[in-house]
Amino acid sequence: MGTGRNTGRNTGTGRETAQGTHAPGSRHRTLATVCLPGALEEKLRAASGAGFDGVELFEPDLLGCALAPEHVRAFCGALGLAVDLYQPLGDFDSRDPARFADNLRRATAKSELTARLGCDTLLVCSSTAPDAAEETDRIAEQLHQLAARAADSGLRVAYEALAWGRHVNTWQRAWEIVRAAGHPALGLCLDSFHALTSRTGDTSGIRHIDPERLFFVQLADAPRPEEGLRRWSRHHRLLPGQGELDVAGFLAEADAAGYRGPLSLEVFNDVFRQGSGVQLARDAMRSLLAVGDAAYVGHPGRAADAGEGPQRGGRTVPAAPEPVGHGCTVLAVDDRAGPRAAAVLRALGFSHTAAHRTEPLRLFEQGAARVLLDGSGGGAAPHTAAGARLVACELTSAAPEAALARARALLAPVAAAGRPEDAGEPASVVAPGGLLVRFRSTADAERLPDGFVPAEEGPVPSAGLTRTDHLGFALPFDRFDAAVLFWRTVPGLVPQPPTEAATPAGPLTGRVLAAPGRGPAGVRLALQSIRRGPGAGSAAPYGFQRVAFASDDIFATAVALRRAGAPVLPVPVNHHDDLDARLGLPPALSSALRDHAVLYERDAAGAYFRLCTPALGGRVSLEVVQRVGEYRGCGAAQDPVVTAALLRYGALV
Amino acid sequence: MGTGRNTGRNTGTGRETAQGTHAPGSRHRTLATVCLPGALEEKLRAASGAGFDGVELFEPDLLGCALAPEHVRAFCGALGLAVDLYQPLGDFDSRDPARFADNLRRATAKSELTARLGCDTLLVCSSTAPDAAEETDRIAEQLHQLAARAADSGLRVAYEALAWGRHVNTWQRAWEIVRAAGHPALGLCLDSFHALTSRTGDTSGIRHIDPERLFFVQLADAPRPEEGLRRWSRHHRLLPGQGELDVAGFLAEADAAGYRGPLSLEVFNDVFRQGSGVQLARDAMRSLLAVGDAAYVGHPGRAADAGEGPQRGGRTVPAAPEPVGHGCTVLAVDDRAGPRAAAVLRALGFSHTAAHRTEPLRLFEQGAARVLLDGSGGGAAPHTAAGARLVACELTSAAPEAALARARALLAPVAAAGRPEDAGEPASVVAPGGLLVRFRSTADAERLPDGFVPAEEGPVPSAGLTRTDHLGFALPFDRFDAAVLFWRTVPGLVPQPPTEAATPAGPLTGRVLAAPGRGPAGVRLALQSIRRGPGAGSAAPYGFQRVAFASDDIFATAVALRRAGAPVLPVPVNHHDDLDARLGLPPALSSALRDHAVLYERDAAGAYFRLCTPALGGRVSLEVVQRVGEYRGCGAAQDPVVTAALLRYGALV
């Protein structure tokens, strides 16, 4: 029973773990897996090697791991590590009874998982959600219910005040709630970061806490946080269009005031100061031209207030025609990756429809999706990479010439011609990171390019893929913000808020940009940047690339893929267990997801299904996705799981 | 006259710059030099190349530059750039009349400088100082005085509200003050970052500002700043001992409560997640052992409250004996750098006192300062570097064995023996970054090491250097915090708050650690980390290293150096002009500093003089410093100037 054991631990009279009894007086030392780089197995080895007694297991580390919870427990045991804490529960308490009931169900499922890990303590942090409960008694009562269930599984619950909790943001308040709950399996978790950076910052009363109820202590230091905004301002500013402030609205106000003086960029950013000045200055000019344009376009009323209209330089950049869809995607492949890529495309239901007369260029089509495998190698720098690489893409619109004119006006470099497939085609521009972008007329999208002849191969049966849903690719960390600016300003895609995740390859930042006005089916890009950790591997220097195709019925597609022998990336059971625990999926759906290695995500607008291949040439994964309702993301919550799996299963070639 | 010109600019009827008249309606586009990497000259070229019309000149960029203001102006003119803004003035207004008078004197000097730059606008930001004026009328009156003086020099003053200004932190308040001041040469500067992140975040009234009084508009974007603390917590936590929170005090409170459960490190840090897990886990264990020790030592009363005392594991690490002084410093030198280093040491007044019997090891001494030149090369990894490199140091204390025992208990790796000079010496440990550290008995510090015999050379005249004042060295950015932890916990040095600066080599973080209790003359280290920019150069992969020697009369030493032909690093005139403007130095002092290329810094506790050599082997600068009063830093404010000069004048070999 939880409580008895807890008492034993807290009075320091020795504690039994999987690894035996600690001597009285010695401290049990624990390292959170979140501190460490790499895959979970590497983290555990490093913690054990440095002499730690246990770990705090961070949920994303488990979800990305191929080991079932029992195997994680056994792995830890073999390394002499206890699993001292599992922390899966955020936003537990709620003013909304229905939501609380769902949270309790979720918590119960996570309690079972915690027990399977051989861990006796579940961490619950104070809620940050808008529906967080406010009154001490209500929160205490809800935590009491959780503690009672946890105690039934031999567990205890440690409650921690986040410094940014909505209503509970000091340890004093959390302790008040723990006392009010009055359940022996409910205690306090203290974290030095939260205690020392909370509103009060006062730790002097901690000594009066009943040690029987102080379940866990976490230690972390930090630079002085008082000057948050100042530090933000001095290190993390971005060029207009790269961040989330309404700079165009601000500028429109100044314009409306009649201001005609200099527009000056003042952007303190450490990453910029490590890069190329020439490149940064060009990005800066692009930003300034585009923000002036956006201020005029987005707020013509305000600009008109000044009584001058467009002729006073308001519109200095041609308008961006709306991108309608993805045209052809070009993958450069070497002699090893090329045949494998062709085989995988066929297994995905793509027919090889045309080939270049003289060059090793092969076109594959399914529905409106088009992929060109370019085996010409050795040409422009992007082609020289070994394996496979996403090197070029097309955006279709009604006015490709205007799109190119806008790109030129915004200082996008025009690609040198000379690639065999470029003959007779419109010019491409080079996006940050090196991807070539061509603007093609919608009317022209299905035309066979010059120099191509129909392939002699017969068609293969479709797997139900209808179009290219999105492209995803990683950028060097110092070009990520430049890429956001490029895609936002040149074709006029709209950025969604950035996402962040911890992956075995390093911390990952993601940002989706999508064409406005076309809903879920429009043009979409998923940019990523990984701050490289030791697990990043050498084949994918900045992370992975993906080409995602849309299906209207992912399970039917999955069956077709299985029949055709398509390689599918295995999904850790922990991902599906987590979906069940979090979302309470219907059993039929849950088992279909598991059977077909389909990842799933849901938000308030809709749902998203996703199936991946291992990485061609260690770099490019082909994906099948299905959108339900108005879901507009690209599965950012799944990216850590996918990244871990891509690293684990290595190159497909 | 400023006002007339301003009117011209703001009504958009054309503006004269050094580069001619801009067409009506076109916007004047400006880039702040602070956005760009590299030395000022590179920044200006990049801005010009991207088509900018002007720059905001950031003061540190000017101070580190070898060009006089007139030459910067001419350089800009040749590139077609106007200098649109100079921003040197912080914390201008004051409740303290004496301080305000001094600020006005400083501002007048900076106005002259602004005029010399060919710039007509001086930026003044709202004060963040404790003595900031609060009432609108008082601030307005003080700014009126400044504007009147500026107008006499043909300048205007733009006043900007920082979002973290003490009393003025919204543009609305700044605008109110500008109106109240009622001087035509005083106007408003608006910055989108400050306007959009201030308390109100409201920009909707900007359109009603009189455009004649809106002097300047700065644009910057940023990630959403609302969640500052949360973001801080998720990316910038540090191990206990690396940051500035009182984690030991927190732990002592938990101990006093009677908590005996796990101590867990939960440290979210992107840099850690990019590094080596094995190294990080070892750092983490060191941190946890040391914070437990510090909690016990620093708060024995609190721990005793728990009624158990040391025997309950309070002191698991041997105490650190206090470091008394710097012993011998070892520079590895190759065949090119070795003779040059010996010549420079002699010119600095060092005598070559002893040499190794069989190995190319030469000892130099002056007062209590000792330097060993190690030309044995080819041995351990640190020696293989070409040029010159700081590879080992000694700390003297009364109990070196205890210091070594503590280092071992804190998991410091013990260096493999095998260097010729190690024979018969105590073991060294390896600090993060690779520096070897030996703990030597104070009594033993002047003993000739085994295998050495007195040199045959006669002594050279002393230049008045008395001892080694401090060592300074740069670390890879991902080992900086680990180094702070090592030096803080192993020998027990006390870290001072970190400092930050922009240098041509990249953004620089500095942190001084000093032995407690010995005052300015004690053991001291200046750690640096440069986030590498393109100007970093290849010879100094992470930045520079320095060995600083103390003089009781730096000007006498400077005269001796000149006589001996010692190479001295030139100091830009802009540094000395800035000292005069900021500090109003007596003319005799000012001219002595200029004559001898001595840098100067002053704080509330005392003053600091500094004279540098160019970098031996492109990496190691020898310095002469003099401390006055209780000054305890190592000249962090001068580091950007010194770094720029070391880069500019290249390697001394």
Instruction: Give per-residue pLDDT as tens, A367-409.
Output: 999 999 999 864 444 444 578 999 999 999 999 999 999 999 9
pLDDT of residue A187: 96
Q: Is A526 helix (H, G, I), strand (E, B) or coil?
A: strand
Same domain, B209 and B337: no
pLDDT of residue B10: 36
Cβ distance A52 to B281 less than 8 Å, yes or no, reads yes
Whether residue B382 has pLDDT greater than 50: no
Q: Which residue is associated with the tokens 């060097």?
A: A476
Crossing angle of helices B277-298/B247-257, nearest 10°? 60
Whether residue A264 has pLDDT greater than 60: yes
Q: What's the gap between Cα B405 and its chain centre?
A: 33
Q: Any idea what the CATH number is for the domain that residue A46 is in?
A: 3.20.20.150
Which of A43, A192, A308 would best serve as a mutation to test chain B binding (most B beta carbons within 10 A)? A192
Whether residue B310 has pLDDT greater than 60: no
pLDDT band at B182 (very low <50, low <70, confident <90, very high): very high
A11 touches chain B (CB under 8 A): yes
Same domain, A183 and A253: no
Q: How many CA atoms lie within 13 A of A549 on its CB side?
A: 31
Whether residue B603 has pLDDT greater than 50: yes
pLDDT of residue A222: 83
Percent residues over pLDDT 70 in chain B: 89
Whether residue B23 has pLDDT greater than 70: no
| Distances from the Cα of A38 to the Cα of A64, A85, B265, angstroms | 11, 20, 17
Residues in Cβ contact with A392 at an 8 Å cutoff, skipping those fewer than 6 apart: A329, A330, A428, A435, A436, A437, A438
Whether residue B650 has pLDDT greater than 80: no
Report the C-alpha gap between A236 and A256 in whole angstroms. 29
Whether residue B539 has pLDDT greater than 70: no
Report the C-alpha gap between B438 and B416 in whole angstroms. 13
Span A494-544, pLDDT tens digits: 999 999 888 888 888 999 999 987 778 889 999 999 877 665 555 566 789
Q: Return the number of CB contacts < 8 Å for A and B.
A: 474
Whether residue A115 has pLDDT greater than 70: yes
Cβ distance A264 to B229 less than 8 Å, yes or no, reads no
A284 touches chain B (CB under 8 A): yes
Distance from CA of A107 to the nearest CA of B (A): 22
b vs e for B540-564, b when ≥16 Cβ sit within 10 Å of the residue's Cβ?
A: bebbbbbbbbbbeebbebbebbeeb
Full DSSP string of A473-520? EEE-GGGHHHHHHHHHHSS--EEPPPEEEEETTEEEEEEEEE-TTSGG
Report the C-alpha gap between A270 and A502 in whole angstroms. 22
B230: number of Cβ within 10 Å: 13
B203 touches chain A (CB under 8 A): yes
DSSP state of A414: B
Cβ distance B277 to A43 less than 8 Å, yes or no, reads yes
Domain limits at B62? 2-218
Distance from CA of A615 to the nearest CA of B (A): 22
**Vertex B498 angle, CA B495 and B502, to 5°:** 150
Pairing of strands B361-366, B351-356: antiparallel
- Note whether residue A82 is domain-resident: yes
Kindly report the average pLDDT of chain A as a whole number.
87
A570 touches chain B (CB under 8 A): no
Q: Considering CB atoms only, which of A196, A246, A270 is closest to B531?
A: A270
pLDDT band at B534 (very low <50, low <70, confident <90, very high): low
Cβ distance B207 to A257 less than 8 Å, yes or no, reads yes
Percent residues over pLDDT 90 in chain A: 61
Span A451-497, pLDDT tens digits: 899 998 889 999 999 999 999 999 988 899 999 999 999 999 999 99
Same domain, B380 and B420: yes
Cβ distance A237 to B221 less than 8 Å, yes or no, reads yes
pLDDT of residue A645: 92
Amino acid at B197: T
E strands, B102-154, in order: 121-125
Amino acid at A79: L
pLDDT of residue A89: 75
Q: Any idea what the CATH number is for the domain that residue A548 is in?
A: 3.10.180.10
pLDDT of residue B521: 81
Q: What's the gap between Cα A538 and its chain centre?
A: 21
Question: Which residues of chain A make contact with B272, given a CB cutoff of 8 A?
Answer: 35-37
Same domain, B174 and B257: no
pLDDT band at B17 (very low <50, low <70, confident <90, very high): very low
Which of B312, B335, B360 is a domain's end point?
B312
Cβ distance A256 to B50 less than 8 Å, yes or no, reads no
Distance from CA of A237 to the nearest CA of B (A): 5
Span A271-297, pLDDT tens digits: 888 888 888 899 999 998 998 888 877
CA torsion sign, A314 to A317 to A322 to A323? Answer: negative
Q: Is A531 helix (H, G, I), strand (E, B) or coil?
A: coil
A7 touches chain B (CB under 8 A): no
| Distances from the Cα of B648 to the Cα of A205, A262, B543, B643, angstroms | 55, 32, 13, 8
pLDDT of residue A310: 38
pLDDT of residue B535: 59
pLDDT of residue B537: 58
Whether residue A21 has pLDDT greater than 70: no
Q: Which residue of A has its CA nearest to B478?
A: A533
Q: What is the mean pLDDT of residues A439-445?
A: 90
Which residues numbered 35-54 in A keep a CB inside 8 Å of some CB on B?
35-38, 42-43, 45-47, 49-54
Question: Which residues of chain B make contact with A264, given a CB cutoff of 8 A?
Answer: 29-32, 54, 56, 84-85, 216-219
Report the C-alpha gap between A517 and A501 in whole angstroms. 29
Q: Which residue of B has its CA nearest to A485?
A: B221
Same domain, A369 and A501: yes
- Note whether residue B592 is domain-resident: yes
pLDDT of residue A88: 77
CA torsion sign, A6 to A10 to A11 to A13? Answer: positive
Whether residue A3 has pLDDT greater than 60: no
pLDDT of residue A225: 60
| Distances from the Cα of A463 to the Cα of A486, A593, B568, angstroms | 34, 18, 75
Count of structural domains, chain A = 3
Same domain, A451 and A545: yes
Q: What is the mean pLDDT of residues B241-262?
A: 87
pLDDT band at A270 (very low <50, low <70, confident <90, very high): confident
Which of B291, B312, B333 is a domain's end point?
B312
A589 touches chain B (CB under 8 A): no
Lowest mean pLDDT among B16-25, B151-160, B196-205, B358-367: B16-25
Q: Which residues does residue B265 pair with via DSSP β-bridges, in sequence order?
A: A31, A219
Same domain, B97 and B196: yes
B456 touches chain A (CB under 8 A): no
Cβ distance B259 to A10 less than 8 Å, yes or no, reads yes
Report the C-alpha gap between B277 and A361 in whole angstroms. 44
Which residues numbered 53-82 in B keep a CB inside 8 Å of some CB on A?
53-54, 56
pLDDT of residue B342: 96
B216 touches chain A (CB under 8 A): yes
Q: Which residue is associated with the tokens 């290190």?
A: A235
- Note whether residue A318 is domain-resident: no
More confident residue, A67 or B235: A67
pLDDT band at A38 (very low <50, low <70, confident <90, very high): confident
- Note whether residue A619 is domain-resident: yes
B614: number of Cβ within 10 Å: 21
Q: What is the mean pLDDT of residues B438-457?
A: 89
Same domain, B292 and B340: no
More confident residue, A135 or B243: A135
Same domain, A435 and A482: yes
pLDDT of residue B540: 60
Report the C-alpha gap between B545 and B532 in whole angstroms. 15
A195 touches chain B (CB under 8 A): yes
Q: What's the gap between Cα A519 and its chain centre?
A: 21
Which residues numbered 390-449 in B keep a CB inside 8 Å of some CB on A?
411
B2 touches chain A (CB under 8 A): no
pLDDT of residue A347: 97
B202: number of Cβ within 10 Å: 14
| Distances from the Cα of B214 to the Cα of A252, A254, A262, B111, B191, angstroms | 14, 9, 11, 20, 11
Lowest mean pLDDT among A307-311, A611-615, B206-210: A307-311
Question: Which residues of chain A make contact with B640, given a CB cutoff of 8 A?
Answer: none
pLDDT of residue A422: 75
- Note whether residue A232 is domain-resident: no
Same domain, A587 and A635: yes
Question: Which residues of chain B make contact with A276, given a CB cutoff of 8 A?
Answer: 37, 534
Question: Which residues of chain B make contact with A284, given a CB cutoff of 8 A?
Answer: 31, 35, 50, 52
- Note whether residue A481 is domain-resident: yes
pLDDT band at B315 (very low <50, low <70, confident <90, very high): low
Which of A9, A263, A265 would best serve as a mutation to test chain B binding (most B beta carbons within 10 A)? A265
Span A204-260, pLDDT tens digits: 889 899 999 999 999 988 877 656 677 777 778 899 999 888 888 888 888 888 888
Q: Considering CB atoms only, which of A192, A234, A265 is closest to B245?
A: A192
Lowest mean pLDDT among A1-10, A633-642, B187-196, B348-357: A1-10
Q: Which residue of A has its CA nearest to B531?
A: A274
pLDDT of residue A9: 37
Whether residue B395 has pLDDT greater than 70: yes
- Note whether residue B224 is domain-resident: no
Percent residues over pLDDT 90 in chain B: 61
Which of A51, A61, A62 is closest to A19 using CA atoms? A51
pLDDT band at A652 (very low <50, low <70, confident <90, very high): low
Q: What is the mean pLDDT of residues A620-639?
A: 95
Q: Which residue of A has its CA nearest to B11?
A: A260
pLDDT of residue B226: 54
Same domain, B390 and B285: no
pLDDT band at A306 (very low <50, low <70, confident <90, very high): very low
Whether residue A585 has pLDDT greater than 80: yes
Which residues numbered 230-269 in B keep a CB inside 8 Å of some CB on A?
230, 232-247, 249-251, 253-254, 256-269
Question: Which residues of chain A make contact with B235, given a CB cutoff of 8 A?
Answer: 507
Span B91-131, pLDDT tens digits: 999 999 999 999 999 998 899 999 999 999 999 999 999 99
A131 touches chain B (CB under 8 A): no
CA torsion sign, A142 to A144 to A149 to A153? Answer: positive
Distance from CA of A216 to the nearest CA of B (A): 6
Which of B454, B388, B384, B458 is closest to B419 using CA atoms? B384
Which of A42, A536, A37 is closest to B275 using CA atoms? A37
Counting beta carbons within 10 angstroms of the beta carbon of residue A587, is it exposed (0 to 12), middle (13 to 18) or buried (19 or more)?
Answer: exposed
Which residues numbered 296-355 in A keep a CB inside 8 Å of some CB on B?
302, 305, 311-313
- Note whether residue A229 is domain-resident: no
Whether residue A138 has pLDDT greater than 90: yes
Which of B218, B245, B270 is a domain's end point?
B218
Question: Which residues of chain A make contact with B193, given a CB cutoff of 8 A?
Answer: 233, 237, 245, 266
- Token pair of A44, please? 């555990």
The full 3-state SS of A162-231, as one line of letters, equals CCCCCCCCCHHHHHHHHHHHCCCCEEEEEEHHHHHHCCCCCCCCHHHCCHHHEEEEEECECCCCCCHHHH
Which of A582, A575, A559 is closest to A102 using CA atoms? A582
Same domain, A272 and A372: no
pLDDT of residue B447: 85
> Does the predicted interface ipTM exceed a cut of 0.85?
no
